[in-house]
Amino acid sequence: MKDLIIEISEALSQTKWQGIGKTADISGFPTEIPNHWPFSNKLYEILLKPQVDKAGNHIKDNNGKVILGKLDERGRPIGLHIKGVIASINTLIKPKLSHNFLVSSGDQNINGRADGLLSTAHSRSWHDKNAIFIGSQNKFPRALLRIAALYHDIGKIISTDLHVTRGLRLMRDIEKKDRDYFENLFESINERNRMWALLRHHDIYGTLCTGEASLAAFSDIVSWTHPEFSFEPIDRSIAAYLTYLLWLNIADSDSTLRTVHGGITSVEADRYLSDWHILIHELLDNNGNPKIIHREEFKKWSLIVASTVTMTIQRITRLIATCYRMKTDKIAPYDEILTLVEEELISLYGHRLEEFCYRFARFCKLDYALRFFLELMKDPRMESNEDHVQLRNMTYRTCMVLQRITEDYAHLINECDRSSPLLVVNMTGLMNPPETGRAICKSLKESPSRALGWIAEEIGVWLYGE
């Protein structure tokens, strides 16, 4: 392993959460970004540069501290979140994981399942006889995770929207010198490409958790030539790459939810861990060794799984539950929403339900859908202050919108797994400007058919992938 990646990893290793829950602070992050670190000027701007107002005066937080690092469009310090992700990574990669890492939900079944899956994933990553990261002393996985956490949101230097793809383009496709310097952190072409893919896919994994993506969005994690590299070390394998994504996204969510719930809840963690559990069983054999995986076979498998009625119901439930949590700052009643979604889909489709599930899986990413569905959840015309009535109304309208989208573009989907395209629905227009979304939500209540026509005019659809 190269010296610079070790240097950066060790410099980040002291970053930690000081205190617990919502009041926790971050300590131990480096006070400067060395010039010889890749993209050091951008890291300084996003993490450490003191913020000033138009008069040149330092901007301070409520505690009188000068705000360091760039602010996003909503005035939130981007660097504070990135430091939090690094602190959470350092918690997750300790030899012994804290038994109370997850914030408890009101559902004991979900609490128990999430705790069990977290322990299983931690053991399979670091401690089992055939652990993916080959023992707790292996430096490479820890270094890779810290590096990924440091750079994963660098695109927010441009904008919050599309920050993942823009960050990747910023690092990889503009200045060859900067790109080469970053790529020289890694020893092989596979390690380099895995890191680029890790930065690109962390957003995909995040949208799996929110219901905006289907499992089929991961079909491209297997390269066309992967079987040629099937004998590489397990900690450089596709299974390892997926496990890096798991820990990066749990840490990302833990940092995001610190001020709301005191950290990642068992509900959110259960989603990440359940998806990882499904995927890892397809990538490893019964002895824990990487399988030889062909891309066509993996895409077909992912579509079959994503097309099941169970996975479709779970995906829509995640979307509604995430909106509920964002609106109320309360943990959503997941099982209740699950039942409501099942009832609504059966009512809408009857014996055609499996046909809808087949199509919906191929709409593998609903870009920025959460903003619109959150606006729908917030809408005062949801008719009741009672949660169960609001959730029922939300479920009905969400399923109605998804029905219109899938039926409008059904002709793009072939009845063939090999040639069936994966589609992205761009839903940014529904909330740009926000008044558009509010008007559509009002129309959905008062004139649903016209509202659905309006939605169809505001969205766009294109093929998934680079």
Quick: pLDDT tens for 148-183.
999 999 988 887 777 888 888 888 888 788 888 888
Rounded alpha-carbon distances, angstroms, from residue 135 to 71, 91, 223: 39, 17, 27
* Residue that terminates a domain, selected from 292, 319, 352: 292
Q: What is the pLDDT of residues 211-252, one digit of tens each?
A: 999 999 988 888 777 554 455 677 778 888 899 999 999 999
Q: Are residues 186 and 99 in the same domain?
A: yes
The reported pLDDT for the residue numbered 276 is 95
Q: What's the pLDDT at 173?
A: 83
Q: Which of 261, 292, 323 is the last residue of a domain?
A: 292
Is residue 441 in some structural domain?
A: yes
Q: How far apart are CA 422 and CA 424, in angstroms?
A: 7
Assess if residue 247 is contained within a domain: yes
Q: How many domains does the chain have?
A: 2
pLDDT of 260 higher than 70: yes
Residue 223 shares a structural domain with residue 334 = no
| Pair (149, 287) in one structural domain | yes
On whether residue 300 sits in a domain, the answer given is no
Q: Bigger pLDDT: 56 or 257?
A: 257
Q: What is the pLDDT of residues 74-121, one digit of tens each?
A: 778 888 999 999 999 999 999 888 878 999 887 888 899 999 999 999
What pLDDT shows up at residue 63?
A: 76
pLDDT of residue 185: 87
This prediction's pTM: 0.90
Domain end marker among 292, 321, 340: 292
Same domain, 245 and 319: no
Q: Are residues 251 and 149 in the same domain?
A: yes
Per the listing, tokens 């960050």 go with 167
Token representation of residue 462: 């294109």
CA distances in angstroms from 326 to 330, 375, 377, 401, listed in the order given:
8, 10, 9, 20
Say yes or no: 211 and 88 in one domain: yes
> What's the confidence (pLDDT) of residue 392?
92
185 and 113 in one domain?
yes
Residues 273 and 331 in one domain: no
For 325-347, write each residue's pLDDT tens digit.
889 888 888 889 999 999 999 99
Return d(Cα 292, Cα 232) in angstroms, integer: 11
**pLDDT for residue 205:** 92
Local confidence band at 452 (pLDDT 50, 70, 90 cut-offs): very high
Across 86-100, 261-275, 283-297, 355-369, least confident range: 283-297
9 or 196, greater pLDDT: 9
Half-sphere exposure of 4 (CA within 13 A, CB side): 12
- Both tokens of residue 64? 């009188």
Residue type, 71: L
Q: Are residues 367 and 441 in the same domain?
A: yes
- Both 312 and 246 in one domain: the answer is no
Question: Do the domain assignments include residue 110?
Answer: yes
Q: What is the band of 264 on the pLDDT scale with cuts at 50, 70, 90? A: very high
Q: 186: closest CA among 231, 150, 140, 134?
A: 140
Do both 94 and 235 map to the same domain? yes
Mean pLDDT in residue range 428-451: 92
Helix, strand, coil percentages in the chain from 3-state DSSP, rounded to 5: 65, 5, 30
Whether residues 12 and 72 share a domain: the answer is: yes
In-domain check, residue 298: no
Using an 8 Å Cβ cutoff, are 331 and 280 in contact?
A: no
In terms of Cα–Cα distance, which of 289, 278, 265, 283 is closest to 315? 278
pLDDT, position 193: 81
What is the sign of the dihedral through the CA atoms of 430, 432, 434 and 440?
negative
Residue 94 lies in a domain: yes
* Per-residue b or e along 285-306, where b marks 16 or more CB atoms closer than 10 Å to that residue's CB: eeeeebbebebeebbbbbbebb
369-388 pLDDT, tens digit per residue, is: 999 999 999 876 555 567 78
Exposure string of 234-250, with b = 16+ CB inside 10 Å and e = fewer, is: bbbbbbbbbbbbbbbbb
Query: Residue 228's pLDDT is what?
Result: 46
Q: Are 153 and 275 in contact (CB under 8 A)?
A: no
* Res. 462: pLDDT tops 50: yes
Average pLDDT of the chain, as a whole number: 88
* Domain that includes residue 47, residue range: 3-292
Q: Is residue 301 part of a domain?
A: no
229 assigned to some structural domain: yes
Output the CA angle 215-219-224, nearest 5 degrees.
170
